[in-house]
Structure 1
């Protein structure tokens, strides 16, 4: 029984030490900016009626397209389909579609960062 009480006492002491260190190290300064949620690409303190940059949106979509392309292409390169011509045709088709889309965006000036 003595071991039981000793272990409970030790656990209570450790709990109190943890609680005290948490209270001592905790910063008490809270500001409006620290308490506000963070949104990527937006300042939480700016006006909510500020127009969204469509160019930023197009670059983000372009990034997502190439990200999905990588997730499609990597298994094709690592597994290499049983038929080599089938593997070559399917990977060439995917790359061709992506290059044509990139050329279309480049021709329309979507990749140029304008002010």
Structure 2
């Protein structure tokens, strides 16, 4: 589905989707947490703390703090890489998949409302 945005329309779509998301009983994520979650789910695996820090150009401790919260919410999990114990792998969860599927539906509904 291709959508063209002019001026602040894209921001308004994002605003409406976020407003609907926070009205629901699901988790309220920070921009950093959301960016990490989307990166883990929408880009090819495997993902590591180091790799996410490089992709997002943020520090490893910032990624770790965000992953702490995502882990508490059950949206992502960390696991020590058995082949290289120095690496921590970031894995998807069923709950995270459901959360992003629901959020994508919110985005689609918000986009339809703009037409």
Q: For this structure pair, what is the TM-score category when the shorter chain's length is used for normalisation?
A: under 0.3
Larger Rg: 1
Indicate the structure with greater strand content. Answer: 2
Instruction: Give TM-score, length-normalised by structure 1.
Output: 0.27
